[in-house]
Amino acid sequence: AQSVTQLDSHVSVSEGTPVLLRCNYSSSYSPSLFWYVQHPNKGLQLLLKYTSAATLVKGINGFEAEFKKSETSFHLTKPSAHMSDAAEYFCVAPARGYNKLIFGAGTRLAVHP
Amino acid sequence: GAVVSQHPSWVICKSGTSVKIECRSLDFQATTMFWYRQFPKQSLMLMATSNEGSKATYEQGVEKDKFLINHASLTLSTLTVTSAHPEDSSFYICSARVDKGHNEQFFGPGTRLTVL
């Protein structure tokens, strides 16, 4: 069965340091993959999406992610964290047939001064 | 583009009453809309999928008579929580998709329901 695994439930970084949020997927076919961000009591905002056009995907707010088929990973990175990046991040993949989305459990990013 | 709104953003109601939540796609037509429920510090749980003009498809364990979904037009879906109880208190989020060939969903801002 297809699944999305976010390896860290919580990540804490200092402002100005790099961010790494890890995501692994399992799929029998080449998937599309998304990263969404959710600020408290808000809906989900799309950060970036992979659709097989390029393995390195650049998103909004300085985030990027690299699709590595050999490692079945799609980790989210940012060179320098801002306080405003503190939020919940979800790695998401469409189910086969595209009728549903499969969500990772989420990673809560804390950014401290 | 691709904006989805929800109304209300928050609602407080008494136990036993019914609450309706609206989800609208503002600048595109959505053939499919989805309703999710999110408990504190948890991921989103898909409740049901609705296609315009047809009955919603509910996920296993979701009571269709409890959570009534109507998708009467290509820009509006509603979720009615009937005879709400405190355990129905949650954050409800809708999303919309243009068509099945596009797997990206656009999410609404969510509705916080509190049942007293």
Model pLDDT for residues A89-110, shown as the tens digit of each residue: 999 988 876 678 889 999 999 9
Report the alpha-carbon distance of residue B39 to residue B42 in Å, rounded: 5
Partners of residue B42 in chain A, C-beta under 8 Å: 105-106
Q: Which of A99-113, B64-78, B98-112 has the lowest mean pLDDT?
A: B98-112
Rounded to 10 degrees, the C-alpha dihedral A35/A96/B62/B70 comes to: 90
- Main-chain phi, psi angles of A84, to 5 degrees: -70, -10
| Residue A29 pLDDT exceeds 70 | no
User: B47 or B51, which is more confident?
Assistant: B47
Is the predicted pLDDT of residue B36 greater than 90, yes or no? yes
Average pLDDT value for residue range A53-58: 88
The two beta strands, B10-13 and B106-107, are unpaired
8 A C-beta contact, residue A93 and residue A34: yes
Sequence-distant (≥ 6) Cβ neighbours of residue A54 within 8 angstroms: none
Average per-residue pLDDT for chain B:
92
Q: Which of A1-15, A85-99, B66-80 has the lowest mean pLDDT?
A: A85-99
> What local confidence, expressed as pLDDT, does residue A98 receive?
62
Judge whether B42 and B36 are in contact, CB under 8 Å. no
- Per CB-CB distance under 8 Å, the chain A contacts of B110 are 41-43
Min mean pLDDT across A59-68, B67-76, B97-106 is at B97-106
Helix (H) or strand (E) holding B100: none
CB B36, CB B21: distance < 8 Å: no
A63–chain B nearest CA distance, Å: 18
Answer yes or no: do A41 and B104 touch at CB < 8 A: no
Give the nearest partner residue to A94 out of B4, B103, B112, using CB atoms. B103
Best residue in A4, A6, A42 for a mutation probing chain B (most B CBs within 10 Å) = A42
Task: Look at residue B1 in the predicted model and tell me its pLDDT.
Answer: 64
Q: Is the pLDDT of residue B102 over 90?
A: no
Percent of chain B scored above 70 by pLDDT? 96
Question: So what's the pLDDT on residue A14?
Answer: 97
Q: Give residue A28's pLDDT.
A: 66
CB-CB neighbours of A91 under 10 Å: 28
**Higher confidence at residue B23 or residue A29?**
B23
Query: CA-to-CA distance for B60 and B47, rounded, in angstroms?
Result: 8
Q: Indicate the pLDDT class of residue B41, thresholds 50, 70 and 90.
A: confident
User: Residues A32, B103: contact at Cβ < 8 Å?
Assistant: yes
Q: Which pLDDT value is given to residue B111? A: 96
